Structure 1
Amino acid sequence: MKVHALRLQPDQDLKESLRDFVDRENIKAGFMLTAIGSLKQATLRFANQNIRTVLNDKFEILAINGTLATSGIHLHITIADKQGKFLGGHLEYGCIIYTTAEIIIGASKEFTFLRTLDDKTGYKELDIVSNLS
């Protein structure tokens, strides 16, 4: 496993920055190891919803989980507001960094992650290819 570390700066778009990093580093099978930071705008898609929700306030990033690859990224984020109440959903474009985001990504050479349309779900789902055979 290779480990990548990056820090995002104020006003960067979280998902766009991750997408750019994955492409620049040519990550074929990445996964989030840890991520913390803060947002001044959060854009999420909640469970079983087709629309994005934009929240304009200050939030702490508690966690980001999921997979990253040049073929696509699928990430969920958990954030907390100033009262400590938390919520989460699909990470969408439009999550804007407030002060920082400290992100550690693992990458495997053993696999390639693809995103292919699954006829059962109607979504592009994770397709795992072993590079060992």
Structure 2
Amino acid sequence: MKVFALRLKPDQDLRQSLKIFANEIDLKAGFILTAIGSLKQAKIRFANQSISTVLNDKFEIISLNGTLAQTGIHLHICVSDKEGKILGGHLDNGCIIYTTAEIVIGCSKEFTFIRTVDDQTGCKELEIIPNPS
């Protein structure tokens, strides 16, 4: 496994920055190992909703999970508000860094991740391709 660490700065878009990172390093099978930081705006698509909700407030990033590859990323985020209430769902463009985001990404050498449309769901889903040894 290869490991990458990055820090995002104020006003960067969390999802877009991770997408750019995956493309710049030609990431084939990445996954979030750990992530903490803060947002000044969150844009999250909650379970079984077709559109995302924009939340304008300060939030702590409690967790960030998912897969990253040059062919697409799929990430879920959990944030807490000023009262410690937790919200989570699908990370969308528009999650804007407040002070920082410290992210560590692992990359498998054994697999390549691609996203293809699944006939059953109609969505681009993860396809895991073993790399030759």
TM-score (norm 1): 0.98
Partner of 1:48, secondary structure, is coil
Partner of 1:16, secondary structure, is helix
Q: Which amino acid counterpart does residue 61 of structure 2 have in structure 1?
A: I
| Overall identity of the aligned pairs, in % | 71
Give, in whole Å, the separation in 2 of the partners of 1:87 and 1:11. Answer: 21
- Residue 109 of structure 1 and its aligned partner are, at CA, apart by 1.4
Write the deviation string for residues 73-124 of structure 1: whole angstroms up to 9, x where unpaired: 0000000000000010000000000000000000011100010110111111
Give, in whole Å, the separation in 1 of the partners of 2:59 and 2:41. Answer: 8
Q: Which runs of 5 or more structure 2 residues have no equivalent in the other structure?
A: none
Give, in whole Å, the separation in 1 of the partners of 2:67 and 2:38. Answer: 21
TM-score (norm 2): 0.98
Partner of 2:43, secondary structure, is strand
Q: Which runs of 5 or more structure 1 residues have no equivalent in the other structure?
A: none
- Residue 48 of structure 1 and its aligned partner are, at CA, apart by 0.8
Partner of 1:106, secondary structure, is strand
Structure 1 runs, 4 residues or longer, greater than 3 Å off: none
- RMSD after superposition: 0.7
Partner of 1:128, secondary structure, is strand
Partner of 2:22, secondary structure, is helix
Give, in whole Å, the separation in 2 of the partners of 1:61 and 1:107. Answer: 22
Q: Which amino acid counterpart does residue 84 of structure 1 have in structure 2?
A: G
